[in-house]
Amino acid sequence: MDNKLSQLRRDYKLKSLDIQDVSENPVEQFKTWFDEVLKSETLEPNSMSLATVSPTGMPSVRTVLLKGLDERGFIFYTNYKSRKGRHIAENPKAGLCFNWLELERQVRVEGTVERLPYEESKAYFDSRPFDSRIGALASEQSAVVHGRSQLETIFRQFREEFENKEVPMPKNWGGYVVKPELIEFWQGRSGRMHDRLEYCLENGLWSIRRLAP
């Protein structure tokens, strides 16, 4: 097993990345890359790794889905009482990572995290499929459960209760926006001489610099 892992290699040759090729605004550059990802038919193109840190300094990472992007930053939704929600309440900073292997690309984001306004979270919640709304009601995310049957029983009860009715958004559920302070774009290159461009927010303005691979 160890030998097989050490021999796994791939030479990246699809594209290059240079400062003169990118937008001065990293959010606009992200949108450009994301449009290309959508055209590539990548599975779950909006999936992103979300890293948070506990009050004791222990990092934790998981995959969530990007559900919005505007001038404020990167938007996702979750249970406020989940592990990530508790971490953010104590330390409102986070990291994101998008890994698009089909295009040999990666984007990293670092920034502060804020809750979305109630009205915005409610509008998104109401747009979700019925079963997704029921799931948000039924699951106390990250809480210990005694078995799958317990979850399915609660889900079924809520499903029957709210069939043909408006599903209320749980008080402990809603959106967050990661407001970027650093965004790095990574393009795989041959011989591990990858292209890395890092945008840093300083005094309200974005600066761009190239990093060694």
Name the residues annotated as catalytic.
Answer: 192
8 A C-beta contact, residue 174 and residue 80:
yes
Q: Rg of the chain over CA atoms, in angstroms?
A: 20
Q: How many residues would you count in the chain?
A: 213
Contacts of 159 (CB under 8 A, 6+ apart): 131, 134
The DSSP letter of residue 172 is: T
Q: Which stretches of 129-195 are DSSP H helices?
A: 130-138, 148-161
3-state secondary structure of 41: coil
Q: Which string of b and e fits 121-160 if b means at least 16 CB within 10 Å?
A: bbebbeebeeeebbbbbbbebeeeeeeeeeeeebbeebbe
CB distance 96 to 178 below 8 Å? yes
